[in-house]
Amino acid sequence: MDNLIEIRDLRVTFAGAIDVVNGLDLDIAPGKTLCLVGESGCGKSVTAKAILQVIDHPGRVSGGSINLRQPDGSVLDIAKTKPTSPVMQHVRGGDIAMIHQEPMSFLSPLYTIGNQISEALMLHRKVGEKAARAEGIRMLEEVGMPDPARRYDSYTFQLSGGQRQRAMIAMALINKPRLLIADEPTTALDVTTQANILDLLARLQRDTGMGVLFITHDLGVVAEIADEVAVMYLGKIVERGPVREVLEHPKHPYTRGLLASMPRLDGDFKASLQAIRGMVPPPALRPAGCPFHPRCDWARADMCGHVQVLETELGHDHMVACHAYGPQAHKFDRVDRPVAAAAAAAAVKVREESAAPLLSVRDIKKHFPIRSGFFQRQTGAVRAVDAVSLDIFPGETLGLVGESGCGKSTLGQTIVGLHRADSGSMRFAEDDRPAVDLLAARGAEARRLRTDIRMIFQDPTGSLNPRMRVRNIIGEVLQVEGQLSDAEIEARVQALLAKVGLSPDYAQRYPHAFSGGQRQRIAIARALASDPRLVIADEAVSALDVSVQTQIINMMKALQAEMGLTYLFVSHDLGVIANISDRVAVMYAGRIVELGSTEEIFRNPQHPYTEALLAAIPGRGESAGGRIRLGGHVPDVAGRIEGCAFADRCPYALEACRQVRPELKGAGGHLDACIRSEELHLRPVASNETLVPA
């Protein structure tokens, strides 16, 4: 066997005889990166844990083989090895190491990272404390940890997210494993940090020649890092092949659907996305026949629902498990569904150029006091929003983008009234009414504003009260308003449910009966209940799986066209922002650094931070030439920042940048806050047609 590891017919069973992994075949070659892709609930992480035999109770490997080739040429079947045996302990961390999604919870806060790194070394090699320490510090240096000797004695809570992930990588690689399993290692990180970690992993693999099993749900990341791709659906591989083959010539309808639901950054940003309908069912409800058939546009009633799917080899190492390529292929016409009409209509809507802004925000500041001591004296302030000005025009979508901690959510929450701004003004002007300052409004006026400006929260679980029926959740704003009778509210709720694509009889139920996507639909119905003008969507699709995310985005676009809504769409995801926004505001350290039309921002960025963000989008980076990668992290907004807040991370910074604070300026609706924007020629988002670098 040439492969490092060969998995055949792997089955992982949980309590109640539910197969989460259901006959999985996978090969990983030495020195190659295999990406395992799929939505959550497909069994990706369980597969990874099965390879190490660390599946949590009550799961267990119940069949198949996991053959690991040993250095001496012999083969060890991990599936037949006792999880607690010394052989298995030797394999774990020695031959195969693993890194995880959330380094904060996968590293213990009670021990220094040095302790945990050297522990991994000492478990597998006979070395003294001192030698282990030296090796650990060397390893931290290797993974690009700044000031490694000092960080070695740090605790996890003293490190930034990227540094923690570097520490975990150092811990995994210190024994020079032959296979590294990376389970969504960059999902919890900011996009610029993610780019750095992906670069690091690629370099380490080149240097060490290890095999990598990389688990992700993000096809952009796949394009960035993979040699081979395996697409997983409900415990089985449905398509497998070299990365170019799979991404450029996807065969399986699931792969095609995943690609079609990804926002495109080439060509037309606002092109409608094709969502896969429905969602991944729980493994206990796995459909018979081809498990994907209920969500598949090609599915034929006469076979997909009951005939087991076979794997078909298409040449070029490309495998697909779909009836449309099997012996009965002639029965399928393999035509993808056209883009939904409503979404397409929404995409062509044009904003009137001359319209007056619906909301004018001027110099808004929101500082959170830092208090300490018994008497809670203020000892400092977090400048979450620091003198922000922007206009939102009626009928448009303004995207607000930035990394975590930049203040974008606080800005949204301040506009909607969850925080009270410290200073500045916010003028809200509907066409037929006199303008009102949101900060000065009282009484009836304030009540009217509350129904005009509404908000959708990020977490659809936390934002719906589990003790209330859907009807009361959606109708609460109308009940408080007290203008409508109960029957009228009931009718309104039913209409809203239909509008967001839910059955009207869901009104009687409680939120715990619904999936994440359905809950977010309910949350949207609540936001729309009072017939608002402006809706602030605070990371409204970030907690959702990619296909559900696309469904919600399409629905929001359709509702916007239908109801004449204006959106302030807050997100960290540049792809989503590009797809939904007419204009984009880029925020950094409490301030807006660039503001312009989506085209301008992505095609002609003026601020170095925007350039760095675009360059960090996985799968869109340029392969040749110098990539732009940001070091460091967002400055601590509690401290006073002199000059440009971005200067410390900016590759173009001059001494002058640290002296004066740049103001937002510019012409033709494209503004930036960089003193060098005139002279710099910054790179736009890569416009290559495909995801895969040439």
Question: Does residue 124 bind another protein (CB under 8 A)?
Answer: yes
Token look-up 């991994």 returns 120
What does the alpha-carbon distance between residue 391 and residue 31 come to, in Å, rounded to a whole number? Answer: 52
**Residues pairing with 380 in the sheet:** 370
DSSP letter at 351 equals -
Determine which residue in the list 1, 75, 209, 282 makes contact with another protein, applying CB under 8 A: 282
DSSP reduced 3-state for 229: strand
The structure tokens listed for 264 are 């495109």
| Residue 518 Cβ vs another protein, minimum distance, rounded to whole Å | 8
Question: Does residue 477 bind another protein (CB under 8 A)?
Answer: yes
Q: What is the 3-state secondary structure (H, E, C) of 494-534?
A: HHHHHHCCCCHHHHHCCHHHCCHHHHHHHHHHHHHCCCCCE
Give the contacts of 564 (CB within 8 A, at least 6 positions apart): 394, 395, 533
Interacting residues with another protein between 481 and 500 (CB under 8 A): 481
Which CB sits closer to another protein, 535 or 615?
535
| Residue 176 Cβ vs another protein, minimum distance, rounded to whole Å | 14
Question: Does residue 631 bind another protein (CB under 8 A)?
Answer: no
Q: Give the Å distances, CA to CA, from 1 to 73, 75, 112, 501.
A: 9, 9, 41, 52
Interacting residues with another protein between 126 and 185 (CB under 8 A): 155, 157-158, 168, 171
Give the contacts of 609 (CB within 8 A, at least 6 positions apart): 586, 588, 593, 594, 646, 650
Largest CA distance in the chain: 82
DSSP letter at 94 equals I
Determine which residue in the list 100, 166, 240, 670 makes contact with another protein, applying CB under 8 A: 100
Signed CA dihedral, 77, 81, 84, 89: sign only: negative
What does the alpha-carbon distance between residue 176 and residue 204 come to, in Å, rounded to a whole number? Answer: 10
Which CB sits closer to another protein, 166 or 454?
454
| Residue 105 Cβ vs another protein, minimum distance, rounded to whole Å | 4
Which CB sits closer to another protein, 254 or 609?
254
Question: Does residue 583 bind another protein (CB under 8 A)?
Answer: no
Q: How many residues bind another protein (CB under 8 A)?
A: 81
What does the alpha-carbon distance between residue 236 and residue 573 come to, in Å, rounded to a whole number? Answer: 29
Question: Are the C-beta atoms of 21 and 47 separated by less than 8 Å?
Answer: yes
DSSP letter at 93 equals I
The structure tokens listed for 169 are 């990588």
Stretch that binds another protein, among 260-268, 319-327, 510-518, 618-626 (CB under 8 A): 510-518
| Residue 377 Cβ vs another protein, minimum distance, rounded to whole Å | 10
The structure tokens listed for 24 are 């999985």
| Residue 561 Cβ vs another protein, minimum distance, rounded to whole Å | 23
Stretch that binds another protein, among 192-200, 221-229, 280-288, 317-325 (CB under 8 A): 280-288
Determine which residue in the list 98, 309, 340, 612 makes contact with another protein, applying CB under 8 A: 98
Determine phi and psi for 279, rounding to 5 degrees. -150, 170
- 226 closest CA partner among 209, 214, 240, 210: 214
| Residue 431 Cβ vs another protein, minimum distance, rounded to whole Å | 24
Q: What is the 3-state secondary structure (H, E, C) of 620-645?
A: CCCCCCCCCCCCCCCCCCCCCCCCCC
What does the alpha-carbon distance between residue 194 and residue 190 come to, in Å, rounded to a whole number? Answer: 6
| Residue 421 Cβ vs another protein, minimum distance, rounded to whole Å | 16
Question: Does residue 23 bind another protein (CB under 8 A)?
Answer: no
Question: Does residue 369 bind another protein (CB under 8 A)?
Answer: no
Determine which residue in the list 147, 150, 316, 466 makes contact with another protein, applying CB under 8 A: 466
| Residue 348 Cβ vs another protein, minimum distance, rounded to whole Å | 28
| Residue 185 Cβ vs another protein, minimum distance, rounded to whole Å | 12
Question: Are the C-beta atoms of 139 and 170 separated by less than 8 Å?
Answer: yes
| Residue 591 Cβ vs another protein, minimum distance, rounded to whole Å | 25
Which CB sits closer to another protein, 519 or 676?
519
Interacting residues with another protein between 198 and 257 (CB under 8 A): none
Question: Does residue 445 bind another protein (CB under 8 A)?
Answer: no
Which CB sits closer to another protein, 240 or 295?
295
Question: Does residue 341 bind another protein (CB under 8 A)?
Answer: no
Interacting residues with another protein between 53 and 72 (CB under 8 A): 54, 56-57
Which CB sits closer to another protein, 193 or 518?
518
Interacting residues with another protein between 73 and 92 (CB under 8 A): 84, 89-92
Which CB sits closer to another protein, 482 or 626?
482
Question: Are the C-beta atoms of 98 and 57 separated by less than 8 Å?
Answer: no
Stretch that binds another protein, among 133-141, 203-211, 310-318, 507-515 (CB under 8 A): 507-515
Q: How many CA atoms lie within 13 A of 191 on its CB side?
A: 24
| Residue 79 Cβ vs another protein, minimum distance, rounded to whole Å | 17
| Residue 91 Cβ vs another protein, minimum distance, rounded to whole Å | 7
Stretch that binds another protein, among 5-13, 72-80, 390-398, 503-511 (CB under 8 A): 503-511
